[in-house]
Chains A and B, each alone.
Chain A
Amino acid sequence: MRPEEISKKTEQLVTINTEDLPPLPYPYENYEETPITPLKEEQKKKWEHSLDGVSALTLPKPETPEEEERLVKAFLSGLGKLMTKENNWTFLQPLMLSMEYCAKCQTCADACPAFEMSGRKDIYRPTFRADVVRKIAKKYLSKGGNILAHFRGHDIDLNWDTVARLAELSYRCTLCRRCASVCPVGVDNGLMNHELRKIFSQEMGIAGPEIHEKGSVKHLKFGSSTGMTTAAVADIIEYLEDDIEEKTGKKIKIPLNKKGAEILLIHNAGEFMAWPENPMAFAILFDAAGIDYTLSTELAGYDAVNYGLWYDDVQFARVALKHLEIARDLGVKKIVIGECGHAHKALSVIADRLLPGAQMIPRESSYTLLNEIVKSGKIKFDPSKNDFPVTLHDPCNVVRLMGIVKPQREVLNAIFPPGRFREMEPHGVENYCCGGGSGFAIMSSGNFPDWKRLVSGRKKLSQILNAFQGEMDPSIRKMVCAPCSNCKGQIRDMLESYEVFEKTGIWYTGMVELMVNAMVDQKKPFLEWPGDEDDDD
């Protein structure tokens, strides 16, 4: 399909058929997939869905032709602003290079898990949306853009269908940037998608509801995108202390708002709600290693997430500056980021040039610090307590986008018996996204969860299954270590939808949980496998 076809007047451009999808490995080669749930008639009337029958944005249809026209104009105006230094100094140079230099070789397509796992549907090619944006810019915003437009390859019609489909299409890419890492001329289609989302958000107020209203807005309003308020966080931490005592027999005080502490530790607040054993494990490890740290209960200070990373520079900057301000007020020497991949990338790397250097606080990955704890010998680990096969998921944000590859491997090798840790293929900087990147893990509007299950998460599920081939008997418990809250959410959803634990014995957890499980002075197993509680009864 040519990119120009995006403006075609048709009810739905593409349909994902389950029979077109690449098969999953054993024991799922003949698995009967549940197709994408079609939107109901009243939803179809309300929401834009003409790209692929999927609505991630629940984007309302314009009610009048005038409204359509206004929105099309707003899109064009946003695209123009994207190409000015005043409005987009943050990304102008990489964007303009990617706008101009694509050689149309399609090397990026084979690297893209969304394209591959969709059954190679053209609309999901990394170049498809980028080409549409390029063509619109050339035809409508450059001088003489109309001259020989067809011959020059940018004869595209800009209408509301195009804009609406582009909006949905910008939420079919996980921003994993695998495409960019193989491009022979250096074009970054992941970035092009990032920038496209910015037009929708910053100019038109259109974004994934879970990452804007329920995400960065809640973060700035209540203190966390989970809705956890500053008043509630201290209570929750008290519960964690009780749970730690129950699980370890140790009375550990989790330090809060401690001025002058060495480290401000920021978790993804989703952990407090969904995986409290993760912040508990951090508390146990830091206590045992004698680390001088604190958590914060300030607005946004207890939630490392920064959803702006995926769609909006202004929201991004607001949250990042809050994190830095809190650390400054506490007088800590550094910020350590918990097991949250995008928080790593957001605060350590992208936020690095938001303020003059003197106002920056050093930021460090928890992986690095945890590895240092292991190497220091301050905590004794008994690898035989983790005597089960384990594989490692590499969060794109930490690995390909930040270059932290070894520490997590060194930790796993130290806390597992030899031969128990096996890599997924490919891994490290060539890894595949969990399928929940760019906000997908938390996005659940419309019938989008079906698309994530069938398409964006499919590659990771294949990799996980492949890592344990030959050991698929469900009685052999196997673990995926996913040291990122977002990735864990996506992996949990995939394992649950495909009943992977029941069929194969594969489960998932973070890295700190595995570390505490292997601690010599940890009497009871810290890890919980599905069904463990039932066994206790």
Chain B
Amino acid sequence: MGFLQILTYLSGLVFVIGFAAKLLKYATMPMHVRWELYPIPHEGKEWGGSFYEEIDHWKKTRHIDHMAQYRFMVPEILFIRALHEDNRSLWYWSFPFHMGLYLCIGGLVFLGLGALVQIFGMAPENSALASLLQSLTTVFAVPGYILGTIGVVGLTVKRMTDSGLADVSAGIDFMNLIWLGLLFVTGFIVWLQDPGFLVSRAFFQSLITFGPMTEPMGAIHVVNLLLFIGFWAYFPFTHMTHMVSKYFMWDKVKWDDDPNKGDAGMDSKIKKYLAYPVTWAAAHVGAEGGKKNWADVATSNPWENKDQK
């Protein structure tokens, strides 16, 4: 096994651990108070209404419209609908950038599948399936490289020239864009040199089999690979993992309209939280440096009966 393979495994490991840690961090935070924002697609009311519009709503069965939620989510994820509607000039660049990324990830999946079938003796030249996987790799990856590059260039220029964006951008934002841009460009060059992704598939195969590399890898390919595995390991530690925030912020905050009807799970959480010690220091809180808990401070009224008129 070569150095590049070891680096790839390591970066994969960092990615998995980093990403899992991030998911775990948010998933284990306490249930918060409700802070939803309408419209909530699963309410199924296109005008943005909620069950609060119904008389005695707590006595009624709540209908959750899952289909409406998917109708909202799919265009949101695939086409970045929010940006299309509310920030079109940025969407022109952000959309190709994200679509480029999705396509490249799709290409990578087909490359991996191609490597897998190749292990079982099915190569593009002798198997229809392997040949299909090879074509799909190209069909996804190449437009991905092109769209991604267009997006990176557009976003970089926009970030530099739009004063609203330039004022909030830092070196790291440009570095992230350029890093991904180089990844797309070198990927494209690799494809020009090896239109059938022969070397890439062989590398993938060596990763799966822990075996040696059967095809020599060119210099630009090595650069592309290093850029990729570096980014893979770095990614979980950046705000670019915003699919995590999207899941939590949408599903667990903006759309979390679960009423408190005394179910055991919610009750036990609330009881636990009310016992948390409070250390807020302002005098009116009266937390006494953590001697009081939430139940104590919330049920106290420091002003009651004093100066009552």
On A, residues with C-beta under 8 Å from B are: 1-3, 74, 77-78, 81, 85-87, 89-94, 96-98, 100-107, 109-111, 122, 125, 127, 131, 150-154, 177, 180-188, 191, 201-205, 212, 217, 220-222, 229-231, 299, 314-315, 317-318, 321-322, 334, 348-358, 360, 362, 364-365, 368-369, 372, 399-407, 428-429
When distances are taken between beta carbons in the complex, the residues of chain A under 8 Å from B32 are 89-94, 353
Which one of B3-11, B210-218, B226-234, B249-257 contacts A? Answer: B249-257
The answer to whether B309 touches A231, judged by C-beta atoms less than 8 angstroms apart, is: yes
The CA of A87 and the CA of B169, in the complex, are separated in Å by 32
- Which residues 243-268 of B sit at the A interface, judged by CB distance below 8 A? 244-246, 248-250, 252-254, 257, 259-263, 266-267
Q: Take A104-B168, A348-B52 as given contacts and tell me if A77 and B90 are in contact as well, using a CB distance cutoff of 8 Å.
A: no
On B, residues with C-beta under 8 Å from A are: 25-26, 29-40, 43, 45, 47-58, 80, 82-83, 85-87, 90, 94, 162, 164-165, 167-173, 175, 239, 241-242, 244-246, 248-250, 252-254, 257, 259-263, 266-267, 270-271, 273, 276-285, 294, 297-304, 306-309
The answer to whether B37 touches A103, judged by C-beta atoms less than 8 angstroms apart, is: no
The answer to whether A405 touches B86, judged by C-beta atoms less than 8 angstroms apart, is: no
A-B contacts, 24 of them at CB < 8 A, read A89-B32, A92-B29, A96-B26, A96-B29, A97-B249, A106-B90, A188-B249, A203-B280, A205-B283, A205-B284, A217-B303, A222-B307, A314-B298, A354-B298, A356-B267, A357-B263, A364-B52, A364-B55, A364-B57, A368-B52, A368-B57, A403-B38, A403-B45, A405-B49
Closest to A365 in B: B52
When distances are taken between beta carbons in the complex, the residues of chain A under 8 Å from B58 are 362
The answer to whether A127 touches B168, judged by C-beta atoms less than 8 angstroms apart, is: yes
The answer to whether B282 touches A202, judged by C-beta atoms less than 8 angstroms apart, is: yes
The answer to whether A97 touches B36, judged by C-beta atoms less than 8 angstroms apart, is: no
When distances are taken between beta carbons in the complex, the residues of chain A under 8 Å from B162 are 106
Closest to B241 in A: A101
B301 to chain A, nearest CB (A): 5
Closest to A217 in B: B303
The answer to whether A368 touches B87, judged by C-beta atoms less than 8 angstroms apart, is: no
Closest to B269 in A: A353
Closest to A315 in B: B284
Q: Take A205-B284, A314-B298, A403-B43 as given contacts and tell me if A97 and B33 are in contact as well, using a CB distance cutoff of 8 Å.
A: no
When distances are taken between beta carbons in the complex, the residues of chain B under 8 Å from A102 are 239
The answer to whether A87 touches B279, judged by C-beta atoms less than 8 angstroms apart, is: yes
Closest 8 CB pairs of A and B: A357-B262, A403-B50, A153-B170, A186-B249, A429-B48, A221-B303, A317-B298, A101-B245
When distances are taken between beta carbons in the complex, the residues of chain B under 8 Å from A185 are 242, 245-246, 249
The answer to whether B249 touches A106, judged by C-beta atoms less than 8 angstroms apart, is: no
The answer to whether A97 touches B253, judged by C-beta atoms less than 8 angstroms apart, is: yes
The answer to whether A86 touches B300, judged by C-beta atoms less than 8 angstroms apart, is: no
When distances are taken between beta carbons in the complex, the residues of chain B under 8 Å from A2 are 167-168
The answer to whether A151 touches B30, judged by C-beta atoms less than 8 angstroms apart, is: no
Contact of A107 among B48, B49, B83 (CB under 8 A): B83
The CA of A204 and the CA of B100, in the complex, are separated in Å by 48
Closest to A183 in B: B82
The CA of A402 and the CA of B273, in the complex, are separated in Å by 24
A151 to chain B, nearest CB (A): 4
When distances are taken between beta carbons in the complex, the residues of chain B under 8 Å from A191 are 35
The answer to whether A407 touches B165, judged by C-beta atoms less than 8 angstroms apart, is: no
The CA of A229 and the CA of B308, in the complex, are separated in Å by 8
The answer to whether B167 touches A1, judged by C-beta atoms less than 8 angstroms apart, is: yes
The answer to whether B34 touches A353, judged by C-beta atoms less than 8 angstroms apart, is: yes
The answer to whether A203 touches B281, judged by C-beta atoms less than 8 angstroms apart, is: yes
Closest to B298 in A: A317
Contact of B33 among A181, A354, A360, A399 (CB under 8 A): A354
The answer to whether A85 touches B50, judged by C-beta atoms less than 8 angstroms apart, is: no
Closest to B38 in A: A403
When distances are taken between beta carbons in the complex, the residues of chain A under 8 Å from B30 are 85, 89, 92-93
A133 to chain B, nearest CB (A): 14
When distances are taken between beta carbons in the complex, the residues of chain A under 8 Å from B253 are 93-94, 97, 186, 188
When distances are taken between beta carbons in the complex, the residues of chain B under 8 Å from A111 are 86
When distances are taken between beta carbons in the complex, the residues of chain A under 8 Å from B302 are 220
The answer to whether A318 touches B266, judged by C-beta atoms less than 8 angstroms apart, is: no
The answer to whether B260 touches A314, judged by C-beta atoms less than 8 angstroms apart, is: no
B84 to chain A, nearest CB (A): 9
The answer to whether A404 touches B271, judged by C-beta atoms less than 8 angstroms apart, is: no
The answer to whether B242 touches A356, judged by C-beta atoms less than 8 angstroms apart, is: no
The answer to whether A357 touches B267, judged by C-beta atoms less than 8 angstroms apart, is: yes
Q: Take A111-B86, A188-B249 as given contacts and tell me if A404 and B53 are in contact as well, using a CB distance cutoff of 8 Å.
A: yes
When distances are taken between beta carbons in the complex, the residues of chain B under 8 Å from A187 are 245, 249
When distances are taken between beta carbons in the complex, the residues of chain B under 8 Å from A401 are 36-38
Closest to B243 in A: A185
When distances are taken between beta carbons in the complex, the residues of chain A under 8 Å from B281 are 74, 77-78, 202-204
Q: Take A314-B298, A404-B52 as given contacts and tell me if A358 and B254 are in contact as well, using a CB distance cutoff of 8 Å.
A: no
Q: Take A362-B58, A404-B50 as given contacts and tell me if A353 and B260 are in contact as well, using a CB distance cutoff of 8 Å.
A: yes
The CA of A500 and the CA of B199, in the complex, are separated in Å by 75
Closest to A320 in B: B298
When distances are taken between beta carbons in the complex, the residues of chain B under 8 Å from A353 are 31-34, 260, 266, 270
Q: Take A357-B266, A403-B43 as given contacts and tell me if A217 and B284 are in contact as well, using a CB distance cutoff of 8 Å.
A: yes
The answer to whether B40 touches A403, judged by C-beta atoms less than 8 angstroms apart, is: yes
The answer to whether B49 touches A350, judged by C-beta atoms less than 8 angstroms apart, is: no
Closest to B59 in A: A362
B157 to chain A, nearest CB (A): 15
When distances are taken between beta carbons in the complex, the residues of chain A under 8 Å from B85 are 182
Closest to B51 in A: A403
Closest to B250 in A: A186
The CA of A217 and the CA of B306, in the complex, are separated in Å by 12
When distances are taken between beta carbons in the complex, the residues of chain B under 8 Å from A181 are 37
Closest to A325 in B: B299
The CA of A354 and the CA of B54, in the complex, are separated in Å by 23
When distances are taken between beta carbons in the complex, the residues of chain A under 8 Å from B39 are 403, 429
Closest to A135 in B: B170
Contact of B271 among A151, A217, A356 (CB under 8 A): A356
The winner among B43, B53, B242 for most chain A CB atoms within 10 A is B53
B110 to chain A, nearest CB (A): 28
The CA of A456 and the CA of B267, in the complex, are separated in Å by 40
Closest to B278 in A: A87
The CA of A352 and the CA of B267, in the complex, are separated in Å by 11
Contact of B280 among A1, A314, A354, A369 (CB under 8 A): A314
The answer to whether B242 touches A106, judged by C-beta atoms less than 8 angstroms apart, is: no
The answer to whether A314 touches B38, judged by C-beta atoms less than 8 angstroms apart, is: no
B161 to chain A, nearest CB (A): 13
The CA of A89 and the CA of B57, in the complex, are separated in Å by 27
When distances are taken between beta carbons in the complex, the residues of chain B under 8 Å from A97 are 26, 245, 248-249, 253
The CA of A109 and the CA of B162, in the complex, are separated in Å by 13
Q: Take A90-B33, A94-B32 as given contacts and tell me if A107 and B164 are in contact as well, using a CB distance cutoff of 8 Å.
A: no
The CA of A125 and the CA of B165, in the complex, are separated in Å by 11
Q: With A78-B280, A153-B171 given, can you name 13 additional A-B contacts, CB distance below 8 Å?
A: A74-B281, A87-B278, A105-B83, A105-B94, A322-B301, A352-B260, A353-B260, A362-B58, A399-B38, A399-B48, A400-B37, A404-B52, A404-B53
